[in-house]
Amino acid sequence: MNRFWFFFYSFAGVAAVVSFAVAPAMGWWFPSPGYSLSPLGAQIDDLFYLILVITSVTFVGVMGVLGYILWKYGSGQRQRGEFSHGSHALEVIWSIIPAAILLFIALYQMDVWARYRVKSLFDKDAIEHPIAEVTARQFEWRIRYPAPGKTLQDTPQYDDLYTVNDLHAPVGKPVVIRLRSEDVLHSFYLPHLRVKQDAVPGLVIPVWFQCEKVGQFELVCAELCGWGHYKMRGQLSAQQTEDFNKYLEELSKSQFDDGVPVAKADQ
């Protein structure tokens, strides 16, 4: 009967490892295509896998020890336990080694975090020419582009272009959006690019990202914002730069062109 519990706990440990191993094949893993569509996102994924390897080794090791213990010392055949209060040497070893591994994990990623968030490290061109201001509100994403050829201003300009829920951006280069909120906390989450930033009422936060693939990718609200939090769905439409510029031209035309040609100064 005592061996039963060894098998019980062992099965759980094995099932845990197996389920993680088959997860990618079952589709229970990073969003399709399974790798990040942004270069910084790819670095995040690398860090994730590094931590996964370290934690998996630790998990298997610890569960292995526990299994050995349950098998050898749970047989019910022993008379007494060993009368030991501890081991100074072991305490030192299993304090120093985990500390070193943990410090390594912490320091190894400072660089990625800095490039994600520290404004002075953002691409100069991108931060000086944000492609849009994205304002989150209950329950939609309002996007304000500057007129083609102009720079986005802090305050709305008469020739700014407005859309809802559909953020276009050029591929292959870093772009910046200015993220705001009109009412409550929201969060700008692009799962395929591994981008997430809370939209805070009262703050304007520059968020940069770089999409490497043309296509449409979900924009998810990732901070509870009320009853409609689940339907605050937007999309990122990543296009080639020429297509992006063409999109803005067409947007401008559809917003301002009333069929009457603009009078020239000398007419």
Q: Does 178 bind another protein (CB under 8 A)?
A: no
Contact 141, 183 (CB under 8 A): no
CB of 167 to another protein, least distance (A): 15
Smallest distance from another protein to CB 5, Å:
5
Instruction: Looking at residues 105 to 124 of the shown chain, list those that interact with another protein (rule: CB under 8 A).
Output: 105-107, 109-110, 112-114, 116-118
Residue 134 parent element (H or E): strand 132-137
Q: State the nearest-atom distance from the C-beta of 259 to another protein, in Å.
A: 33
Residue choice 14, 21, 51, 53 for contact with another protein (CB under 8 A): 51
Tell me the sheet residues that pair with 177.
132, 207
| 171 near another protein, rule: CB under 8 A | no
Are 47 and 112 in contact by the 8 Å Cβ rule? The answer is yes
Closest CA to 238 of 172, 188, 152: 172
The CB-of-254 to another protein minimum distance in angstroms stands at 26
Per-residue binding string, another protein, 86-105, x by CB under 8 A, is xx--xx--xx--xx--xx-x
Rounded Cα gap, residues 95 and 100, in angstroms: 9
Q: Of the candidates 42, 127, 185, 214, which one interacts with another protein according to CB under 8 A?
A: 185
Interface with another protein, residue 226, by CB under 8 A = yes
| Residue 166 contacts residue 132 (beta carbons within 8 Å) | no
Is 153 near another protein (CB under 8 A)? no
Q: Pick the closer one to another protein by CB: 227 or 263.
A: 227
> Is the distance from CB of 219 to CB of 189 less than 8 angstroms?
yes
Q: What share of the chain is helix, strand, coil (3-state, %, to 5)?
A: 45, 20, 35
Shortest Å, Cβ 1 to another protein: 8
Q: Binding mask 1-40 vs another protein (x if CB under 8 A, - otherwise)? A: xx--x--xx--xx-xx--xx--x---xxxxxx--------
Could you tell me the smallest distance in angstroms from the CB atom of residue 145 to another protein? 21
Nearer to another protein, 54 or 251 (CB): 54
Q: Please give the Cα distance from 196 to 207 (Å, whole number).
A: 9
| Closer by beta carbon to another protein, 80 or else 124 | 80
Cα–Cα distance measured from residue 11 to residue 188, given in angstroms and rounded to the nearest whole number: 40
**Edge-first strand listing for the sheet containing 195-199:** 166-170, 234-239, 215-221, 186-190, 195-199
Nearer to another protein by C-beta: 66 or 251?
66
Contacting another protein (CB under 8 A), which of 89, 155, 231, 263?
A: 231
Distance CA 222, CA 225 (A): 9
